[in-house]
Amino acid sequence: MSATIQGADGEYVDLSGIAIRKRRPTEFSSDRPVVDQVEEWLNEAGLTLATIRMKGLRPAGMKTHWPDVVVDVDDLCWLRDSDDVLPPPSADAIARMDVALEWVSLLDDQRLRTVVNKRLIVNPISGKFHWEWRKLGRLLGIDHKTAKAWHRRACELIGKKIRHL
């Protein structure tokens, strides 16, 4: 029986002959840069958050007659692609999501925090980011490469701060 994982380049690597220490679900790997792992955790946190089933969030006895406020016109078209029921995320994924979402509060710069928060909005069916880099750049009035650099900088700052916690 062979164990394979998908590497960063998209290729599958055979791990059947390698002894790997099982790490805890909220532990970083020591053989990879922390900034890359922070970015992966944030991406996974957005997808996990999107796939959590939420029931009973509306108050049953209290109703208002005001329409829902839509801050952004693009939010109107951001509906689920299908009515398929997704499997709930695993307990490990939820634990990682909780840890990763706490990291956003470590960012003092509001611009970096905005970029990270916007990138957490993910479609649960397609896995596509609602705020792609170009769209996020237009929203913030910056180039899409700058938006991507801000996200990377935010991941670097988070990585530095969590090492000292």
Kindly write down the DSSP assignment for every residue of the chain, as one continuous string.
Answer: ---EEE-TTS-EEE-TTS--PPPPTT---TTS-HHHHHHHHHHHHHHHHHHS---S-S-SS----SPPP-S-GGGGG---S--PPPPPPPHHHHHHHHHHHHHGGG---HHHHHHHHHHT-B-TTT--BSS-HHHHHHHHTS-HHHHHHHHHHHHHHHHHHHHT-
Count of positions (residues) in the chain:
165
pLDDT of 109 above 90: yes
- Is 6 a domain residue? no
Domain of residue 151 covers 25-53+86-165
Higher pLDDT, 152 or 164: 152
Ranking 67-71, 76-80, 105-109, 140-144 by mean pLDDT, the lowest is 76-80
Report the distance separating Cα 42 and Cα 38, nearest Å: 6
- Is 2 a domain residue? no
Mean pLDDT of the chain: 77
- Is 69 a domain residue? no
Q: What is the pLDDT of residue 27?
A: 73
* pLDDT tens, residue by residue, 112-153: 999 999 999 988 878 889 999 999 999 999 999 999 999 999
pLDDT of 88 above 60: yes
pLDDT of 3 above 50: no
- Is 73 a domain residue? no
- Is 68 a domain residue? no
Number of independent structural domains in the chain: 1
Q: Tokens 């801000």, residue? A: 150
- Is 165 a domain residue? yes
Q: Tokens 């237009």, residue? A: 138
* pLDDT tens, residue by residue, 16-54: 444 444 445 667 778 888 899 999 999 999 999 888 877
Residue type present at position 25: P
Report the distance separating Cα 20 and Cα 26, nearest Å: 16
Residue 122 pairs with which residues in a beta bridge?
Answer: 129
- Is 79 a domain residue? no
- Is 161 a domain residue? yes
Give this prediction's pTM.
Answer: 0.68
